Structure 1
Amino acid sequence: MAVLGVTVFALAGCGGGGAAWNPMAEAGTGHGAALKGAVTRAEAAKIVDNYVAVNNEANATRNANLLATVEGGQLNAQSTADYRTFATWTKTDQDAYAKPFSYTDRTYYIPAGEGWFAVEARASGSKDPALLVFDREGGAGGWKAMAAVYMDGASVPAIAVGADGLATAVDPSKRVGALAPDEVSAAYEDLFATGGTTTGRSLSLTNSVAKDAIKIYQERDSGTDSAYATKSYAAAKVVRDTVYALRLKDGGAVAVLPTAHTSTYALKPQYEPSFQITPTEEEGVFDPAKRGAVVDTFQGVG
């Protein structure tokens, strides 16, 4: 099964060593004639339009093969799981999912010298913006949406754009503040696994995303069956391990990254000989058998 992250991660611009980045200086100089974007804004618009059209067509009949032609990575893993569990949803949720959508109020962020681009947009019927990333899966082939992160009552951080109209990609392995962008996923998953007592301590624990993850950890064994079974979380392998990061106007960075963890609901040893766990209706789509432990895998985008 899959879960969708609800915010991108903004990394602070202070600390972390290295030369300071000057957004005003870059805005004045641009990125140099040699560095171009992967697409023009007009080309990016056509790519997004095509994604919306094919996505709407695929959603109408839950055609996973069709959707995979315009969607990849974590996002496609989530959509595929949605299609498989669709029959377990309420009629209201089914109707909402199948209803055609569009993206308006678009702002394109095309990084200089990179093979991908991002777009901030608003999905029809939503008050909150989203940040989408488009890339060529495997570096070749057609353009696909790799991530779509819908902001939950928040705004997309202010992304820096140079005089040439291009954004600046950030090396995911270089620290920005307390963490490098490619370290954030492990820190985020630590919130589920330990409540944020190890690598998760490097994250801000005051935002709603962190609070929700910590709450899940704290309430993992508070259910009515907690006397008989325990629940634990652990980081899992992501479908596509690619981090996309852009420089912010304040010198920090915004990162769109893959996340994944497992949730294991297992009988306590003393009850294993006498009891079995019945999967939920949604879990039963993947494996309906009663068993001593039910393991769910969640693929997300943060």
Structure 2
Amino acid sequence: MSRPIARRSRPRRPALLALGLTGALALTACGGDADKGDDAPARSTGAARQGLLTPEAAAEVVDTYERVNNRANAARNEKLLSTVETGQVHEQSRADYTLWETWSKKDQKEYASAFHYTDREYLIPPAGSGVSWFAVKATSSAAPDQKGALLVFDKAGGSTYRMTMAVYADEAPIPEVAVDEQGLVTPADPSEKVGALAPDQLGDHYEDFFESGGRKKAAETFAPTETSKGSIEVHDEGPDDDLEEYATEKYFAAEPAHPEVYALKLADGGTLALFPTAHTSELMLKPRYLSGFDITPNDEEARYDATKRDVVTDEFQGQALAVLDPRDKPRVTAIEYRMVDSR
């Protein structure tokens, strides 16, 4: 999983024919603490509903993930990492490993350094809730100044739990999740609308911020947040000033590599959703320059395809965190992408 060192904002290309990506790359890595559930809500030992697993078992899952992830990151061993990680977060981890050689020595060292998840709160659904996952609110020792992280571990059709999604809170702490008298959480149906949208509709609507600056539907659908404002800025910036004469840059919504959406009921009656999202960026020479110029991919793009070309299409896979309020518009409060392909 990625380490929150720096946040990718947008592709930046400093010159024609040697166009480069210099925007900040969001790096992360994953870890955990060995508290064995000390920070988890108290669970009743009565004859009430049982959890999908115990807090102690959840702690062992996270501990195992932490150990294996730290070993895999140090060696960039994707096969090893895949034993404890899958889904959208694994798409981003694979991209991190692919782009490793393009990073600064400082970023490489930080990414390869072991770290841990502390202050864990295990969000465990009831055994009969029909879901195969649990979540964890935690703080990363690599990002103590951030507002926490929300992690999801899912059996995802297998026999063991693996991390499938993980998002670091940017502008607001992760809100309080509703828990019952046994300390169990209530999963929400991703297809059930909460106000304007259902959790599984968030990604498609959110990508309009990149495609049109939100003008088609996103600006009217979502409450403005620092996260959404940042996405609008990506759309509005276009090519660098010295490239405006030569090329255009557009964004197009894409299918997430892994469509799973995870949602939980909140203590205030709302819903917390972790959802996947994706888009491509297309940098294209204007027609009058097509016959005499080519775009040279930057170092990151060249890791996927070093061919000089008229159009550079970069694919970004993302994860995001949103709060849906039945009385208000949904708010997306954290989002991060990785470039997973260039062609």
Name the TM-score, length of structure 1 as normaliser: 0.87
Which residue identity lines up with residue 106 of structure 1 in the other structure? R
* Structure 1: runs of 5 or more not aligned: 7-29
Residue deviations 1:184-203, cap 9 Å, x none? Answer: 11111110011112231344
1:271 to 282, 289, 296: 289
* Structure 2: runs of 5 or more not aligned: 8-43, 321-343
| Structural mapping, 1:103-252, within 5 Å | 103-112=117-126, 113=129, 114-126=131-143, 127-128=145-146, 129-137=148-156, 139-252=157-270
Q: Distance in 1 between matches of 2:196 and 2:107?
A: 40
Decide which moves more: 196-205 or 172-181: 196-205
| Percent identical residues | 46
Residue deviations 1:217-274, cap 9 Å, x none? Answer: 0102343211111111111111110100000111000100111110111111121111
For residue 61 of structure 2, give the secondary structure of its aligned residue in structure 1. Answer: helix
Shift of 1:165: 1.1
Residue deviations 1:98-152, cap 9 Å, x none? Answer: 0001000000111221210000000113222100001012x22321101110112
Does the CA contact (< 8 Å) of 1:205 and 1:211 recur in 2?
Answer: no
Shift of 1:174: 0.9
Q: Distance in 1 between matches of 2:276 and 2:125?
A: 20
Residue deviations 1:154-179, cap 9 Å, x none? Answer: 20011111112110111111111221
Which residue identity lines up with residue 122 of structure 1 in the other structure? T
Shift of 1:86: 0.3
Q: Distance in 1 between matches of 2:202 and 2:105?
A: 37
Does the CA contact (< 8 Å) of 2:3 and 2:111 recur in 1?
Answer: no
Q: Distance in 1 between matches of 2:86 and 2:115?
A: 19
For residue 224 of structure 1, give the secondary structure of its aligned residue in structure 2. Answer: helix
For residue 210 of structure 2, give the secondary structure of its aligned residue in structure 1. Answer: helix
Which residue identity lines up with residue 242 of structure 2 in the other structure? T
Q: Note if 1:63 corresponds to 2:77.
A: yes
Does the CA contact (< 8 Å) of 1:3 and 1:300 recur in 2?
Answer: no
Query: Higher relative contact order by CA 8 Å / sep ≥ 6: 1 or 2?
Result: 1
Does the CA contact (< 8 Å) of 1:119 and 1:133 recur in 2?
Answer: yes
Match of 1:299 in 2: 317
Match of 1:42 in 2: 56
Which residue identity lines up with residue 230 of structure 2 in the other structure? D
Does the CA contact (< 8 Å) of 2:122 and 2:136 recur in 1?
Answer: yes
* Structure with the largest fraction of helix: 1
| Structural mapping, 1:26-105, within 5 Å | 36-105=50-119
Q: Note the aligned Cα RMSD (angstroms).
A: 2.1
Q: Distance in 2 between matches of 1:269 and 1:35?
A: 65
Number of residue equivalences: 276
Match of 1:18 in 2: none
